[in-house]
Chain A
Amino acid sequence: QKEVEQNSGPLSVPEGAIASLNCTYSDRGSQSFFWYRQYSGKSPELIMFIYSNGDKEDGRFTAQLNKASQYVSLLIRDSQPSDSATYLCAVKVGIGKTSYDKVIFGPGTSLSVIP
């Protein structure tokens, strides 16, 4: 069973701090990794994706991927109360050339940014 794991939280950080969210996955063949943000009562929306080892930065968000250790993380710098949400890690399983994309979601980490 291919799995994606995250700390459920809640993770609380003060406003202006760095929030660090972690995700591990079991399928070594996985190649596409996504971070979705889900506000309470809303549907998930993509905020970052990463395919290559290393860091990828987009504004206040940095995604980090380490395929050897099978983990992907999301850093949020200068956290704002508006960042308070559940963050879902998603991994495309490495199933080779197929006619569909299967993505497995982690359970999500709840982040609370305290003003």
Chain B
Amino acid sequence: DVKVTQSSRYLVKRTGEKVFLECVQDMDHENMFWYRQDPGLGLRLIYFSYDVKMKEKGDIPEGYSVSREKKERFSLILESASTNQTSMYLCASSFYMWLGGISYEQYFGPGTRLTVT
């Protein structure tokens, strides 16, 4: 059974703090993703990684950075938390294979609800 775990379900931080969100997957997936989900805006991709030490910006990378030192672990870092980063953060992983455009499904972690005050 695929398992994606996230370090915290709920997190409350103060403005200006550095915040680390961690994600671990146990299926040897190449791809890992960080999304945020806000009401009415759906899932928006922050960053993704297709290999160790590789990363690509998603649609809303500003204010975030990531780290992938090991294949199973992908960390999201909020360098200086702000109130507009209050959101649900979802990590996901998938196998990579490009075969005529076919893509593998993404498996999601339980999410971290971050509140920045």
Contacts and interface: CB of A to CB of B under 8 A. Distances in A.
A20 interface: no
Interface residues of A, number: 28
Contact of A98 (B43, B44, B98, B108): B98
B3 to A, nearest CB: 12
B69 interface: no
Nearest to A48: B105
Contacts of A108: 42
Interface stretch (A11-19, A38-46, A55-63, A76-84): A38-46
Interface of A: 8, 29, 31-32, 34, 42-46, 49, 51, 88, 90, 92, 94, 97-108
21 contacts: A8-B40, A31-B100, A32-B102, A32-B103, A34-B105, A42-B110, A43-B109, A44-B90, A49-B105, A51-B102, A88-B42, A88-B43, A97-B98, A98-B98, A99-B54, A101-B103, A103-B106, A105-B44, A106-B42, A107-B40, A107-B42
